[in-house]
Amino acid sequence: MQAKEDVMLRRDIFRAGLAGAAGLFGLRRVSAATNGERLKVAYHLSDADKVNFVLGNIKNHYEGTGGNVDIVLVVHGPALAAFRSKGASGAVSSRFAGLVRQGLVPQACGNTMQGMDIALTDLLAGFQLAEKGGVVKLAELQHQGYVYLRP
Residues 86-100 pLDDT 10s: 989 999 999 999 999
List % helix, strand, coil for the chain (3-state, nearest 5): 60, 20, 25
Q: Which pLDDT band, with edges at 50, 70 and 90, does 37 fall under?
A: confident
Q: How many CB atoms lie within 10 A of CB 61?
A: 19
Mean pLDDT (whole number) for 121-137: 97
Residues 40-89 pLDDT 10s: 999 999 999 999 999 999 999 999 999 999 999 999 999 999 999 998 99
Mean pLDDT (whole number) for 130-136: 97
Residues 4-24 pLDDT 10s: 555 444 444 544 444 444 444
Residues 134-146 pLDDT 10s: 999 999 999 999 9
Calculated CA dihedral for residues 134, 85, 93, 146, nearest 10 degrees: 20
Beta bridge partners of 40: 70
